[in-house]
Structure 1
Amino acid sequence: MQPVIPQDEFLRRRQRVLDQLPANVVALVAANEQLIRSNDTEFPFRQNSYFHYLTGFNEPDAVLMLSTLSSQPGSVLFCQDKDPDAEVWHGLRLGYHNAPNALGIDAGYNIDQLEQRLPELLNGTESVFLLLGEDESLEHDVHQAMAYLRETEKRGNKVPHRIEDLRPLLDTMRQQKSANELNVMREAARITGNAFKRIMKYVQPGVFEYQLGAELQHEFAMNGALYPAYEMICGGGANACVLHYTDNRDQLHDGDLVLVDAGAEYQGYAADITRTFPVNGKFSEEQKLLYDLVLEAQQAAFEKIKPGSDLVAATKAAARVISDGLTKLEILTGDADENFEQQRWKKYFIHGLSHWLGLDVHDVGRYKDAENNPLKLQPGMVITVEPGIYIARDSGADERWRGIGIRIEDDLVITEDGFENMTESVPKTTEEIETWMQK
């Protein structure tokens, strides 16, 4: 049975927001609009992550209102009305009349009424909470409603004192996943892992980068993950040294490595895996030395991943291994301690070690606490751990190392006593990769 987020969990999330909001305020969260791709064709619709988190409702052009005013319903959904003429072209709509029963919302209204009703809904509130910068149209309508209330105060209307950002509250909630969310994310990781194992067997010299992408997407879609969670990276040879390489056009050559960074999106939640493997199924001596160094760095980071620790400690552990290893290989020259302290390793380990993972591949949430200290890891948080080494062709390193880019990335759930690696099924050591590719 496929894991899903049950409807009552969305209801509990909305109630948690209401419980944390001050009295006499309104919060508004907008769904995404349908985006035009070209002329009269559209991109596949992808819901706003915050809106999805609070509703599970996957239609465009909708607004959720949460209110702590005693005179208003706690939750109201403004969405599109049923329209047989439009639905025959674009698919069935839930309709605002059906929203309360289907979604556990207190009341449903036509989205076409929102602009007209906003002054009434905001009248008497102390504050309006929005996802500031997320939806210009909604913010404009709120400002217009506030201007009207301000102009009509002599009639007894009361304008809100301020507009506040709802993000900090929602970001904190989203940072720790529920049991249902983790089950969905495990499925996203399982699907993605199987896709990686598939392309490791498929790849060979002469294959194009985009063909690896096609194999990944086929495996995703055939298992219920209709779209990738982000633009995938399939970088062969020196293309692997371009961190966000997404052209995926070049042919793969004998003797090169290929770096693949991809993740399925399942029920709105992302997986994010990177593996680097030889196109011909066999690592060269130089490739193996660098690969084993990246893998050792990841293992060093893993040792720091547990409740009460933080990502800064994990990053330092991985960076120390990479710095010392690059010094030993004479890619970095000079004293090992000085190379680490002066962060000379950053020339080759360019990016951060980790990020939050969830409804967004780079999920929301703070990395520092209120005192500006690294945020402590807690059970239910989901992170990536992804060290890498990238030696570009113009790096100045010895010729034997140039054009090699390696990254290894796994998805971890913080548990009570450490972590669970959701992506450990994907071959990762050089021996495991070579054995799997030669089957």
Structure 2
Amino acid sequence: MSYQLSKDTLKVSAKLFALNRQRLVAELKKVVGGEKKVVLLQGGIEKNRYNTDAADLPFRQESFFFWTFGVHESDCYGAIDVDSGRTMLIPPKLHPDYIIWEGKIHPESWFKEKYEVDEVHFHENGNIEKYLEKWNSKKLLLLTGVNSDSDDTLPPANFIGKKKFDICEKILYPIMSELRVFKTDMELEVMRYAAKIACDAHKDVMKNIKPGWYEYQGESLFRHHSYFHGGCRHLAYTCIAASGENGSILHYGHVNAPNSRQINDGDMCLFDMGPEYNCYSSDVTSSFPVNGKFTEKQKGIYNAVLAANKAVFENAKPGVSYVDMHLLAERVTLQHLKEIGLVQGNIDEMMEARLGAVFQPHGLGHFLGLDVHDCGGYLGDAKPRSTLPGLKSLRCTRTLQERMVITIEPGCYFIDSLLDKALSDPSQAKFLNKDLLKEYRGFGGVRIEDDVVIWKDGNENMSILPRTVEEIENFMKQ
């Protein structure tokens, strides 16, 4: 069976997840042997809003569980027999009153057909012990690990009778995380669709926005377009709909800075927004003047960031270090800032002094997949996380390989606290044109972010938008 919201949205085959399970079993067979082993995963749990019986947001599945089974329903378990590859889905048994309040109660056969698994059995309150015993499960492989970005720990599956089994919690997390790094053709098809919807929604905002709008209205239009035209019920992350000086707040849009400023004529907008489709993320940033016409200052900063974006896209090839790509972006940006007159001196010495991090304190980008900051950035041949400004914010330090999906998102920001700190540091202040920098205080920032697939014969940009100054101005005046 397949997932599709309407005839106008992408159809996603359940075979995508069957292939993921095959990949997982193949990798496990390389490292485990002996007694019978069963992978047991627990899906996401639906929760209510604080002390009420009202649901907070539409349920969204836990990413590892979704990668394995493609199941949208909450409160499920899933098992895989490593020896045979046989699969079992264990959804919750619903109360008879469910049909009154929530809708149809599907039989086990419906889940089996929809998700193309071998067995389906209902559980009550996490009582799955009998199904595992039926499989003669000797050792259970449970998924738990620490995310390298959030430092949050994913808890292992919990169920009644767990203590009766031999449990292993060390094998799955690195293997599954590494598998998620490399996207299959079917996964890439979904991600291309999500990126296209993101770009269409960005263009809708660019076409309609005008001075006097509030930032949240740009966010609202983006959300509407993504769902109405693309079937994307969820966004991949909190919308950053920044204007003017707010463009220098890297993760603007959160509850304490909720896209609430009125946009003034002449402001630059930095809109970092992306929907997800069938749980696969997009992550796209567009930067543009609200009135559709760049000033000379805006044009200079924008072209600096665009040059960095293009340089990385052209050089980010299999075998190349992502750290080196971050440094390349910094170097290109500094070269352009030197041409503008904002910095002065030797570029190599600026790089040594970590001046680039004053203007771009975040990392170049990250893996993209079922999570917007997808897992695996510090696996494989990854270098240890740096302690240096800018570099310490990298979410990936690996050598690039084919089928990795990364974001390329260089930026240039005028952040008062970082500028003040640099001006008080003799090793950095000597490169800065203090008087000219005063004119850029309050500018905000520019970020240009694309979703890119690494291929040996040339990278694929999934996020096509008007990008040059001329393209943006021509598009917005139409």
Q: TM-score w.r.t. structure 1 length?
A: 0.89
Q: Aligned pair 1:236/2:243, yes or no?
A: yes
TM-aligned CA distance change 1:265 to 1:116, over 3 Å: closer
Q: Distance in 2 between matches of 1:160 and 1:265?
A: 37
Q: Distance in 2 between matches of 1:407 and 1:375?
A: 23
Q: Aligned pair 1:422/2:435, yes or no?
A: no
What root-mean-square deviation, in Å, do the aligned CA atoms of Structure 1 and Structure 2 show? 2.5
CA contact (8 A) 1:270 1:359 kept: yes
Q: Distance in 2 between matches of 1:184 and 1:93?
A: 29
Equivalent positions of 1:8-407 (< 5 A) are: 8-21=15-28, 22-23=32-33, 24-38=36-50, 39-42=52-55, 43-68=57-82, 74-112=86-124, 114-115=126-127, 117=129, 120=133, 125-126=138-139, 128-132=141-145, 136=155, 138-139=157-158, 141=159, 145-146=162-163, 149=164, 159-160=165-166, 162-223=168-229, 224-246=231-253, 247-370=258-381, 372=383, 374-393=397-416, 395-396=419-420, 398-404=437-443, 405-407=445-447
CA deviation map 1:169-202 (0-9, x unaligned) = 1112211212221111111111111111111121
Select 2:10's aligned residue among 3, 6, 12.
Answer: 3
CA contact (8 A) 1:208 1:252 kept: yes
Q: Which shifted more, 239-248 or 395-404?
A: 395-404
Q: Describe the SS at the equivalent of 1:37.
A: coil
Q: Describe the SS at the equivalent of 2:370.
A: coil
CA contact (8 A) 2:331 2:347 kept: no
Q: Distance in 2 between matches of 1:323 and 1:214?
A: 35
Deviation for aligned residue 1:165: 4.3
Q: Distance in 1 between matches of 2:234 and 2:320?
A: 34
Q: Which shifted more, 59-68 or 159-168?
A: 159-168
Q: Distance in 2 between matches of 1:7 and 1:33?
A: 22
Q: Distance in 1 between matches of 2:128 and 2:227?
A: 42
CA deviation map 1:98-132 (0-9, x unaligned) = 43333222222222174361784797624533234
CA deviation map 1:143-163 (0-9, x unaligned) = x632xx4xxxxxxxxx52643
Q: Distance in 2 between matches of 1:33 and 1:301?
A: 40
Q: Distance in 2 between matches of 1:82 and 1:97?
A: 15
For 1:221, the aligned partner's letter is: Y
CA contact (8 A) 2:142 2:157 kept: no
Q: Describe the SS at the equivalent of 1:258.
A: strand
TM-aligned CA distance change 1:244 to 1:145, over 3 Å: same
Deviation for aligned residue 1:309: 2.0
Deviation for aligned residue 1:367: 4.2
For structure 1, the 5+ residue unaligned runs are 150-158
CA contact (8 A) 1:210 1:249 kept: yes
For 1:163, the aligned partner's letter is: E
TM-aligned CA distance change 1:315 to 1:162, over 3 Å: same
Q: Describe the SS at the equivalent of 2:121.
A: strand
For 2:60, the aligned partner's letter is: R
CA contact (8 A) 2:275 2:281 kept: yes
Deviation for aligned residue 1:79: 0.7
TM-aligned CA distance change 1:292 to 1:176, over 3 Å: same
For 2:324, the aligned partner's letter is: A
Q: Which shifted more, 24-33 or 367-376?
A: 367-376
Identity of aligned residues (%): 35
Select 2:470's aligned residue among 424, 431, 436.
Answer: 431
Q: Distance in 2 between matches of 1:344 and 1:194?
A: 36
CA contact (8 A) 1:311 1:354 kept: no
Q: Describe the SS at the equivalent of 1:112.
A: coil
For structure 2, the 5+ residue unaligned runs are 1-6, 147-152, 385-396, 421-433
Q: Distance in 1 between matches of 2:300 and 2:77?
A: 54
Report the counterpart of residue 153 of structure 1 in structure 2.
Answer: none
TM-aligned CA distance change 1:420 to 1:69, over 3 Å: closer
Q: Distance in 2 between matches of 1:255 and 1:29?
A: 52
CA contact (8 A) 2:144 2:156 kept: no
Select 1:409's aligned residue among 429, 432, 449.
Answer: 449
Q: Describe the SS at the equivalent of 1:234.
A: strand
TM-aligned CA distance change 1:259 to 1:370, over 3 Å: closer
Q: How many residues align?
A: 423
CA deviation map 1:363-400 (0-9, x unaligned) = 11234524749533222221110000110245345221
Q: Distance in 1 between matches of 2:382 and 2:469?
A: 42
Q: Which shifted more, 200-209 or 85-94?
A: 85-94
TM-aligned CA distance change 1:314 to 1:436, over 3 Å: same
Q: Describe the SS at the equivalent of 2:362.
A: coil
Q: Distance in 1 between matches of 2:208 and 2:176?
A: 42
